[in-house]
Structure 1
Amino acid sequence: MTGPGLRARKKQDTRAALAAATLELAAEHGLAAVTVEQIAARAGVSYRTFFNYFSGKEEALLRPGGAGPGTFGPRLLGQDPALPVLAAARAALHEELAVLESDRAAWQLRLTLIADDEALLPRLVELGATGEREMTAAVAARTGQDAERDLYPALVGAVLGCAVRVTLARWHRLEGRAPLPRLLDEALDALAAGLPDPASPS
């Protein structure tokens, strides 16, 4: 009999195989030229199985973990309650980005494909907005505020989303040579300092 743990691992493996196949085929042919049938065949599953995990090839490329609830919320709520919100958010984001850095080659390739394909921009914006809403909801839950009415959760969610986008763009331009946590800290430190003017060259 297949236990719940084994079923969950098999689902995770299938999702990972589909995401990897999407990335490989997009790198070989461009995402526009790739079909779901090709992705499913490369991953060794049926066409219908693909849609159990992703709504389309764009999502498989941009959000390889799937469309389920994001992980930032649980990570934020799992931080020490004594930590200030922004410190807790920084720690949660470090955990998030550590996952990306553990698969650095794949994410560097993914970011290259995204940068080179303007057709992905609307979907990327949509996913970014979803991520910011998830961050807003998590901050609201931690602070006991209302995500719809109160300013603080929405503002923090937007700022964190922007910091992550800038951090990933810098990491991509540097070809992964700088650690993601350090780049994130630079962005968050600059925001916390109120974005002071850059020092004039001596």
Structure 2
Amino acid sequence: MSATTSEPEPGLRERKKAATRQALHEASLRLAFEHGPDRITVEAIADEAGVSRRTFSNYFANKEEALFYGDLQRMRLLAGMVRERPASEPPWAALSGAAESFYRRLGDLDPEWIARSRMVRRHPSLAAAQVQTFAALEREISAAVAARVGPGDPFGVRGQLIAATFLAVLRVSLNVWLERRPEISFWDLARDSLAEAGRGFA
């Protein structure tokens, strides 16, 4: 991974805002696990986090955003790792390398994350919100890929196809791993799937 300029530490106000956002996210998860995502409200999440309904609205538009905040943060980290890959790497190699670094850093998938992923698949409304979250990441990934593809892709079609395929491979690999729980790690399954899909972009 190439060297990057370190960003300044956030100030007290930013840290407080981040802590409030994280508290709302964690409160939404607790309530969703206890009562089911369809039975929780924004008011209940705000009460659980010890803030007002107005404060909740300053951070999230709805309960789905609060529930998926952790996923969005992880996805932004992944997108950042893609941008930091060496400029000489082809797009698919950069994406695969970033994914490996990301999942090695993330470590084993924790039981709470697995439980939430399964919960998402049981509730169509949450599944739709997850798709929107992935769409936001796809735009970031597409922009990073476009910088590597260069003038050979004037309309950005190839960049978007590569980004969409990359995220689809990760999503399908995760679904298969959650459903079948094979005797290999999620990353081992995803790595093999990325290698197979990447032959079309070599």
Quote the Cα distance in structure 2 between the aligned partners of 1:125 and 1:153.
19
Counterparts of 1:15-94 in structure 2 under 5 Å? 15-64=21-70, 70-94=76-100
Counterparts of 1:123-134 in structure 2 under 5 Å? 123-134=129-140
Quote the Cα distance in structure 2 between the aligned partners of 1:28 and 1:40.
16
SS in structure 1 of the partner of residue 159 of structure 2: helix
Residue type matched to 2:177 in 1?
W
Q: Name the counterpart of 1:12.
A: 18
Once the 2 structures are TM-superposed, how far is the Cα of residue 65 of structure 1 from its aligned partner?
5.6
Once the 2 structures are TM-superposed, how far is the Cα of residue 80 of structure 1 from its aligned partner?
1.6
SS in structure 2 of the partner of residue 144 of structure 1: helix
Residue type matched to 2:166 in 1?
L
Once the 2 structures are TM-superposed, how far is the Cα of residue 176 of structure 1 from its aligned partner?
9.3
Structure 2 CA distance for partners of 1:43 and 1:65, relative to 1, 3 Å? farther
Q: 1:110 pairs with 96, 112, 116, which one?
A: 116
Residues 18, 40 of structure 1: 8 Å contact kept? yes
The normalised TM-score by structure 2 is 0.79
Once the 2 structures are TM-superposed, how far is the Cα of residue 24 of structure 1 from its aligned partner?
1.2
Q: Unaligned regions of 5+ residues in structure 2, if any? A: 1-8
Q: Unaligned regions of 5+ residues in structure 1, if any? A: 195-202
Once the 2 structures are TM-superposed, how far is the Cα of residue 170 of structure 1 from its aligned partner?
2.7
Quote the Cα distance in structure 1 between the aligned partners of 2:43 and 2:71.
20
Structure 2 CA distance for partners of 1:11 and 1:5, relative to 1, 3 Å? same
Residue type matched to 1:89 in 2?
L
SS in structure 2 of the partner of residue 52 of structure 1: helix
CA distances 1:62-95 after superposition (whole Å, capped 9, x unpaired): 233658x934443212112232221111122234
Count of residues in Structure 1 that have an aligned counterpart in Structure 2? 191
Once the 2 structures are TM-superposed, how far is the Cα of residue 177 of structure 1 from its aligned partner?
6.9
* Percent of pairs with identical residues: 35
Quote the Cα distance in structure 1 between the aligned partners of 2:182 and 2:155.
39
CA distances 1:133-188 after superposition (whole Å, capped 9, x unpaired): 22111111233348871332011011111011112213323569743322220110
Q: What root-mean-square deviation, in Å, do the aligned CA atoms of Structure 1 and Structure 2 show? A: 2.9
Structure with more helix by fraction: 2
Q: Name the counterpart of 1:152.
A: 158
